[in-house]
């Protein structure tokens, strides 16, 4: 569990610095969304990028089942570091379910951080939230790296299909993307989700075969 001002091991130092620089330089005033919060360390760092009087509204989507008593631990962590938990809109739900409600409510965001389950099909589901991202807004995906290929494949496929989004930076495994215009086609549609499900199965099968081959060589 993170202690004091530490955010724990989720973000490397250069990734955190990149995230902080983006938020401070962009001066985004609209709603901010974090999908997957862990212990709340990254959330705290993002909140602290803003002065209290000009702080944007933060929403967190997480099923809060990553470890026992996660919800209360996150709230206690924020409180012990000077942030009132009630100022954050915690939505204890899976991303897929929470998105439907947010879309129906016509919510909009200036910033989205995706750092939930790293399997391809779940990242593809998380990318549906980009439909609610304002033009000029920033999307970040954590763990964009070979070790978590699901994130890479989902993000790369997304960028291939939507040229109104472009890479702004890549710091370690933190990918930063900007939305330049509204999309002509729906982001992460049913076909994308079906493709992601098939590819997820293929990646799992490939990893399983590699493990079996590795065992046979010893």
The pLDDT assigned to 10 comes to: 77
Distance CA 208, CA 132 (A): 36
The CA-based angle 58-63-68, given to 5 degrees, is: 110
Whether pLDDT at 176 is above 70: yes
Residue 2 binned pLDDT confidence (cut-offs 50, 70, 90): very low
- CATH class name, domain 13-216: alpha beta
Whether pLDDT at 6 is above 50: no
Instruction: Transcribe 67-80 into DSSP letters.
Output: STTHHHHHHHHHHH
The pLDDT assigned to 9 comes to: 43
Tens digits of per-residue pLDDT, 182-216?
Answer: 999 999 999 999 999 999 888 777 666 666 666 66
Q: Which parts of the chain are beta strand (E)?
A: 32-35, 58-62, 88-92, 109-114, 133-141, 165-171, 174-179
The pLDDT assigned to 218 comes to: 53
Q: Are 157 and 10 in contact (CB under 8 A)?
A: no
Listed by start position, the domains of the chain span: 13-216
The pLDDT assigned to 7 comes to: 43
**6 three-class SS:** coil
Q: Are 181 and 135 in contact (CB under 8 A)?
A: yes
Q: Is 207 exposed, middle or buried (0-12, 13-18, 19+ CB in 10 A)?
A: exposed
């Amino acid at each position: 569990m993170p202690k004091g001002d530490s955010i724990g091991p989720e973000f490397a130092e250069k990734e955190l610095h990149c995230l902080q620089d983006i938020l401070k330089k962009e001066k985004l005033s609209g709603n901010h969304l974090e999908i997957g919060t862990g212990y709340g360390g990254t959330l705290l760092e993002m909140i602290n990028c803003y002065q209290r009087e000009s702080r944007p509204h933060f929403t967190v989507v997480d099923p809060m089942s990553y470890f026992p008593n996660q919800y209360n631990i996150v709230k206690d962590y924020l409180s012990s570091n000077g942030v009132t938990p009630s100022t954050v809109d915690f939505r204890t739900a899976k991303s897929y379910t929470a998105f439907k409600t947010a879309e129906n409510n016509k919510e909009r965001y200036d910033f989205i951080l995706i750092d939930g389950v790293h399997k391809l099909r779940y990242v593809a589901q998380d990318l549906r939230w980009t439909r609610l991202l304002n033009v000029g807004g920033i999307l970040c995906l954590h763990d964009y790296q070979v070790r978590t290929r699901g994130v890479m494949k989902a993000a790369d496929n997304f960028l291939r299909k939507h040229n109104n989004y472009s890479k702004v930076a890549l710091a370690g495994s933190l990918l930063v993307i900007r939305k330049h215009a509204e999309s002509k086609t729906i982001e992460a549609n049913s076909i994308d989700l079906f493709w992601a499900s098939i590819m997820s199965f293929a990646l799992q099968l490939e990893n399983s075969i590699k493990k079996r081959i590795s065992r046979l060589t010893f």
